[in-house]
Chain A
């Protein structure tokens, strides 16, 4: 009888069972969900909720558009409300997913003749991992600003020389200091498209630097984390 009752309960298709959790640092995980129901473009984000909770948050998709699973990168915010709950999920727990949302993706027509510079602070690297995993022939450089070098999430996946780690808390990255400091020292080819993702202060400062370097705002794409 119990089995019959269970069969009658239709689980809404917005719900996904957590399939796997990869611990990347002490406070950062990659949450992996079944991806088969979900079509998205690399760079887009989803709205993520936890079953039984009345809040949701937006997360950029961390996996490639053709990957088997849908992944998001979650850093537990100290004294935060939502991220600690996500961090304590176990395989089999239900999460609610809506999306994909947003226009923070690459126009595929631009890929053959252009360079791409990805600028990320912290977990703002998520959409860029998705882009790199999705577009095979991308001529890209990823500038990633973090406090400590262990926050270079999945660094081994990026081709040598393409991932520039800027660290402020230790000297184990490629550049010691803020990523905006590194950016100030760089020069870029004219046919470069910039993609910025992270907190609003970093995005504003990086935007100003790029505009001062003469790049058109139309070539600078932003995704704000909040």
Chain B
């Protein structure tokens, strides 16, 4: 018996899919990449944009045609809006929130039996998250042997007007810190080198518990202390933080421990105050500027990544130019730039989408060009330096190995080193491109932990 799982969207869905795989494999199902030979077909959906949702509709139409010829079970989970959920109820065999994953084996066993839930009882439309802790108790089947995602928080209370996540994942719920630390320790003991703490608002961790759970800064500190004691070299990242809840203390803690990676992903979304207000981002440019100043002061070697939306509903040219100015000001090492697309379920979906697609494309390209100036300038500064990189794959064009620095700068190596996949090695930077650098592996003796800072990239 085999299962085929399609995972759409963000790292949170990737993390969730590792737990779905664990549940199915515990039941005796084997994973297959060929959907035509699977007995169970599932999708972890993403509602951030329309395209992934269209894919879900296309897939289920195809799978339901196969049902005429063979026995199949289909399911959908992940981020699903209430309106889509209503339609999926008619086309999929199962639809359930991730918080009910632990009950999935029972659902499959009882397949075909109508549950006595009393269909007349009103069912809440908004997802309820209190059982999400059951999901976190499931030991995931990690897809990589050196890179892992650890969910620490689920849901969102922020209600940004461009986003539907509060309606698909429910309100913010924090995972117990003991479980998180246990999973991190387990991963480090297994030799994992890159561990990413995940949450829709990862740095809002603990705030939902009203003082009964430690804060995000305290959680990072405990991980940092463990990293110190372990004697292992590994890098812990977190994504995505919200500027509203970003404290100086978090940055101080990141600065204090070697295992806390010196890379910060801080979504800005827009560099214009009026657009930020319209997006209901709940932070000002002053606040954002203060956080970046703290990062530059306390972790000068840190790389800074961001997310930006161009062409948001009524964004004017001067407002867009404020984002361009912010790109020059903050000199991001990477910006994930998206052209605004209205998403059903988000508040902005009800507003007129005034910026034409061609104009959005122009803004996208203009901003990308500005980003390129600064990424190249930074990459140039790495030339001739020897950096620690995590080897993580091969370049499709050259077939040579690739890797990431601690700051998540892409590195292309001078040859293929299959045996080094998943290892952290020293690489001397010999070439520079807009969004990556190239280099050659060098032999250097292992450094004592307290000297590792010397080989960081700045």
Contacts and interface: CB of A to CB of B under 8 A. Distances in A.
Interface of A: 5, 8-12, 14-15, 47, 49, 51-56, 58, 81, 94, 96, 98-99, 101-103, 200, 203-204, 207, 217, 222, 224, 226
B124 A14 contact: yes
27 contacts: A9-B118, A9-B121, A12-B123, A12-B124, A12-B128, A14-B126, A47-B166, A49-B126, A52-B122, A54-B85, A55-B83, A56-B126, A81-B350, A94-B122, A96-B122, A96-B125, A98-B171, A101-B157, A101-B159, A102-B157, A103-B282, A200-B274, A207-B277, A224-B161, A224-B278, A224-B280, A226-B278
Given A9-B121, A54-B82, A204 B126 contact: no
Contacts of A94: 122
Contacts of A51: 122
B365 to A, nearest CB: 28
Given A101-B159, A200-B278, A96 B120 contact: no
B423 interface: no
Nearest to A102: B157
A200 B277 contact: yes
Contact of A226 (B120, B287, B347): B347
B136 to A, nearest CB: 21
Interface string B166-202: 1100110000000000000000000000000000000
Interface of B: 82-83, 85-86, 118, 120-126, 128, 157, 159, 161, 166-167, 170-171, 244, 273-274, 277-278, 280, 282, 284, 286-287, 347-348, 350
A101 B204 CA distance: 13
A55 B125 CA distance: 8
Contacts of A55: 82-83, 125
7 shortest interchain CB distances as A-B pairs = A54-B82, A9-B121, A14-B124, A226-B347, A200-B278, A9-B118, A204-B274
Contacts of A11: 121-122
Contacts of A224: 161, 277-278, 280
B277 A12 contact: no
A12 B122 CA distance: 7
A96 B126 CA distance: 8
A226 B121 contact: no
A124 to B, nearest CB: 13
Contacts of B121: 9-12
A8 B118 CA distance: 8
A204 B86 CA distance: 38
Contact of B286 (A96, A101, A217): A217
Given A54-B82, A101-B157, A204 B171 contact: no
A207 B170 CA distance: 31
A221 to B, nearest CB: 10
B27 to A, nearest CB: 29
Contacts of A96: 122, 124-126
Given A96-B126, A226-B280, 16 more contacts: A9-B121, A12-B123, A14-B124, A51-B122, A52-B122, A54-B86, A56-B125, A94-B122, A98-B170, A101-B171, A102-B157, A203-B277, A222-B277, A222-B282, A224-B278, A224-B280
Contacts of A54: 82-83, 85-86, 125
A181 to B, nearest CB: 19
Contacts of A203: 277
A54 B167 CA distance: 10
Contacts of B282: 103, 222
Nearest to A225: B280
Given A9-B118, A12-B121, A47 B126 contact: yes
Contact of A9 (B120, B126, B159, B170): B120
A217 B126 contact: no
A121 B266 CA distance: 32
A217 B287 contact: yes
Contacts of A52: 122
A103 B282 CA distance: 9
Nearest to B128: A14
